[in-house]
Amino acid sequence: AQTVTQSQPEMSVQEAETVTLSCTYDTSENNYYLFWYKQPPSRQMILVIRQEAYKQQNATENRFSVNFQKAAKSFSLKISDSQLGDTAMYFCAFMKHSVPMKWYYGGSQGNLIFGKGTKLSVKP
C-alpha cells in the first residue's frame, strides 16, 4: 500500500521569503503522479502543482516549484516570495497510474492518497 508522509505539522515564514515543505512517499509503483494541494481557511481545496513520475524535470508554477527525487521518494514544495495569501494547509498527495484496460470501462481509479498536511503561516 502507498503512504504519504509530511513530517512538518506546522511551519511559518516571513512575507517575501522562501519556504520549503517536505513530503516523502512509499510505493512499489513505477508510474504515478504527485500533487500538492492547498486548503486555505475558507476550506476550498486547490491544486497547486502536479508532477508526473516519468518526467525528470521538476514542475514549476509561478512562485511554486517542486524538488522531485524519485529514487529517494521525496517530493518537496518550494514557495518563493511568500505572500500572506499563501497561508493555508498544504497537502501532498500520491496517485498511481492506472492501467489502460480500466479506461475502456470508463475511467481511472482516481485514488488520491494524502499526507496529513502542513499548516503554513506567512507572517507580515
In whole angstroms, the minimum distance from the beta carbon of 111 to other proteins comes to 6
Q: Which is nearer to other proteins, 5 or 69 (CB)?
A: 5
Task: Choose between 5 and 121: whose C-beta lies nearer to other proteins.
Answer: 5
- DSSP one-letter string for the chain: --EEE---SEEEEETTS-EEE--EEE-S-SSEEEEEEEE-TT---EEEEEEETT--SPPEETTEEEEEETTTTEEEEEE-S--GGG-EEEEEEEEEPPPHHHHHTT------EE---EEEEEE-
In angstroms, give the least distance from the CB of 85 to other proteins: 14
Q: Applying CB under 8 A, which residues contact other proteins?
A: 4, 33, 35, 37, 42-47, 50, 52, 91, 95, 100, 103-117
Query: How far apart are CB 118 and other proteins at their closest, in Å?
Result: 12
Kindly tell me which of 83 and 108 has the beta carbon lying closer to other proteins.
108
Residue 16 CB, nearest distance to other proteins (Å)? 26
Place of cell 511551519: 11
